[in-house]
Chain A
Amino acid sequence: MTLDIPSINDQLTDFDQLFTLWNQIQHDSSEIVFDFLKSQWLGRGWAHVSAALRDAIAGMVWEIYANAFEHARSPVGIFSCGQHFPSSQELKLTVVDFGFGIPYNVRSFFKKCRKAGAFDAANCLKWVFQSGTTTNPVGTGRGMGLDLLKEFVKINHGRLEIFSHNEYGLIDEYQEVFIDRDTYFRGALFNITFRCDESYYQFAHDKMDEPLFFLRIMR
């Protein structure tokens, strides 16, 4: 599949063509989307960032895309914008889908439970960021995207904001806040700030020689 991606210097006079372009990106074109993400979109301004940090951030951004591909059911695809701020060593990204929204998916998942109505919007958002939760009915789900993203943002000293329906979430190293708002957005919007600091992208390391499938049980 060949994608004619507009460059930053192109004049987008025909937005219908752009929407058509993104609609062509089907599920089986994930590698094409990711290569564009890593080399062209995120790729600008990486001159002073190590390959390891670049790859770590690219992987985290992909987690958001993968989560949206799996759950959002957005009829016009997923939109992204962002900017690298070299002076503050920050990368600010916004990823938006126009799907059903996180609260809808959570309530649909629990629709058989008579208490599903008790899930107000703020609790729905809080639920999806709990470790191990998924609305995928077939098991552990395709990814741990939101849980992993939350952990990375905290270690990275970054910031994550989520808007979906009338719900707002804010996650950073100091807090996790989920509140209901008066404004409403049907899909889901992620506002992320990554610190492009070599010190802040690796999780706390267990011993490297510890067995992978070791699980310490605390009693």
Chain B
Amino acid sequence: MKVAILNIIGENCITLEDGQKIYSQILPELSAGHKVELDFKGVGVFASPFFNAAIGRLLNDFTRDELNRLLDVFNITPVGRDILKLVIKNSARYYDDPDYRKNLNKILFEQAEVC
């Protein structure tokens, strides 16, 4: 399945709602084991809410190996790729380790007591 993001969302991939549109479209294909190609040709502006909703949350449904195998991203600007990788890193940390946030908060509380 090939998805031309410009035709569906436009030049600016910034809102969570637009990310959800993409997620809803690609989830059934990925769940069926079909390869999905996201083409960002013509998209100039990116923001994390869009990527969080469109791609980051996929890490709750699939492993990294499955996504590397099934999901491809094309024609994305360097800045867009940077933001996407940060979103994936953040999402992976959240979904991979249920205790991550609990531990982070514990550390911050301890720091607060020291201060």
**A residues at B contact (CB < 8 Å):** 28, 30-31, 34-35, 38, 51-52, 55-56, 58-59, 62-63, 66, 110, 113, 115, 118-120, 122-123, 127, 130-133, 139-145, 147-148, 151, 201-203, 205-206, 208, 211-215
* A215-B64 CB under 8 A given contacts A59-B14, A151-B86: yes
Q: How large is the interface on B (under 10, 10 to 19, 20 to 34, 35 or more residues)?
A: 35 or more
Inter-chain CA distance A203–B8, complex, in Å, is 27
Interface of B is mostly: helix
- The residues of A that contact B83 with a CB separation of less than 8 Å are 59, 148
Which residues of B pack against A, CB within 8 Å?
A: 10, 12, 14-17, 44-49, 52-53, 56-57, 59, 64-65, 67-68, 71, 73, 77-79, 81-94, 100-101, 104-105, 108-109, 111-113, 115
A143 touches B77 (CB 8 A): no
How many angstroms from the CA of A139 to the CA of B95 in the assembled complex?
A: 9
Contact between chains at A212 and B88 (CB < 8 Å):
yes
Chain A residues contacting B115 (CB-CB under 8 Å) are 120, 122-123
Chain A proximity of B19: nearest CB distance (Å)? 9
With A and B bound together, what is the CA distance between A28 and B92 in angstroms?
29
Say whether A66 contacts B47, CB under 8 Å: yes
Nearest-CB residue, chain B, relative to A133? B104
CA distance A95 to B61 in the complex (A): 36
Whether B64 and A132, one on each chain, are in contact in the complex, defined by CB atoms closer than 8 angstroms, is no
| Cross-chain contact A213 with B53 (CB below 8 angstroms) | no
Contact A201 B48 (CB under 8 A): no
Whether A142 pairs with B79 at a CB distance below 8 angstroms is no
Q: Which residues on the A side are within 8 Å of B71 (C-beta)?
A: 212-213
- CB contact under 8 A between A205 and B52, given known A66-B14, A118-B112: no
Contacts of A211 in B (CB 8 A): 64, 68
